[in-house]
Amino acid sequence: MPPRRQPTARQVRLGAELRKLREAAGLKATEAASLLGVNSVQMSQIESGIAGVSEDRLRRLAAQYACTDEQLISALAAMASSRSRGWWEEYRGSLPNPYLDLAELEDRAHFRWDVDFLHVPGLLQTSDYARALFSYMNPEFPASDVERRVAHRMSRRVIIERADPIPYDTVIHEAALRIRVGDRAQARAQLLRVLEISAAVHVTVRVIPFDVDGFAGAGGAMVYAGGPLPKLDTVVRDTPHGTVFIDAEAQLCRFRTLFRRLEAASLDPERSRDFIHRLAKEL
């Protein structure tokens, strides 16, 4: 099988986890390659996600690395054997790869946390809100490109709308709820949409109002996708240089702590719903 030209975020993550196991075992890449019966170039391609690895080979590597964490091994094996083509594949070649990587990450997530200060989180957006947002942020885009991004964003909502939805918690600042991305009617419809979704048992929406004491911000929006194990969680952040997928354990721990602090600074779910309802009545 020829090397992949553009590995997905899942494939890159799998290779990175295998590299971590090798390094923890104190082995060089050439030594691991010899144990597996491949050359150093092939080993490098596996660890960079450019080349795939079968479940059998993955388990052989784990044994050679003296890894006894069966939960981790099974989770990595599931990542390696994933061959399903999700709905996002129809956008391959027409949208940037991070859009597809995020959709795949969400589809396989065990839970999802969102934090946003300027915009309503993507999973809660109406199509009108998303359209107004994409049009404003990318005024050079033709209408067809905007509509493609809107359709992709609306399809991503499946993870909280399907028959077996994942638990979804989000913290939204009052600023994000008050900023009128579209017109008054669209802004009201967006708030009512948030209220509608927040009524679901698997969805928790919390609001941080302007007048809360002792809140100094959190450094920007984030998406936190829970994996089968905490060490396989992923944080996704948008930066001026593009979308970044963060998986270092120390950083994951930091973002988990940050999310809990933001929850503590926010209104409880019932008061948050009342707060959003009052904002909607103002429009």
In this predicted model, what pLDDT tens digit does every residue of 8-51 receive, in sequence order? 999 999 999 999 999 999 999 999 999 888 898 999 999 999 98
The residue among 81, 104, 122 that closes a domain is: 81
Claim to verify: residue 54 and residue 156 sit in the same structural domain: no
Claim to verify: residue 117 and residue 249 sit in the same structural domain: yes
Do the beta carbons of residue 168 and residue 202 sit within 8 Å?
yes
Q: What is the DSSP string of 91-122?
A: GBTTB-HHHHHHHHHHHT-SEEEEEESSS--G
Claim to verify: residue 186 and residue 268 sit in the same structural domain: yes
Give, to the nearest 10 degrees, the angle between helix 29-36 and helix 40-47: 100
What is the residue-averaged pLDDT of the chain? 93
Q: Using CB atoms within 10 A of its CB, is residue 274 exposed (0-12), middle (13-18) or buried (19+)? A: middle
Claim to verify: residue 182 and residue 246 sit in the same structural domain: yes
Claim to verify: residue 126 and residue 255 sit in the same structural domain: yes
The predicted-structure confidence for 202-218, as pLDDT tens digits, reads as follows 999 999 999 988 787 76
Question: Pairing state of beta strands 242-246 and 203-208?
Answer: unpaired
For residue 181, give Cα distances in angstroms to 91, 116, 191: 25, 14, 12
How many separate domains does the chain show?
A: 2
Q: Among 274, 277, 282, 224, which residue's Cα sits nearest to residue 253?
A: 224
The predicted-structure confidence for 178-191, as pLDDT tens digits, reads as follows 999 999 999 999 99
Q: Looking at the domain assignment, is residue 132 inside a domain?
A: yes
Q: Looking at the domain assignment, is residue 87 inside a domain?
A: no
Claim to verify: residue 194 and residue 242 sit in the same structural domain: yes
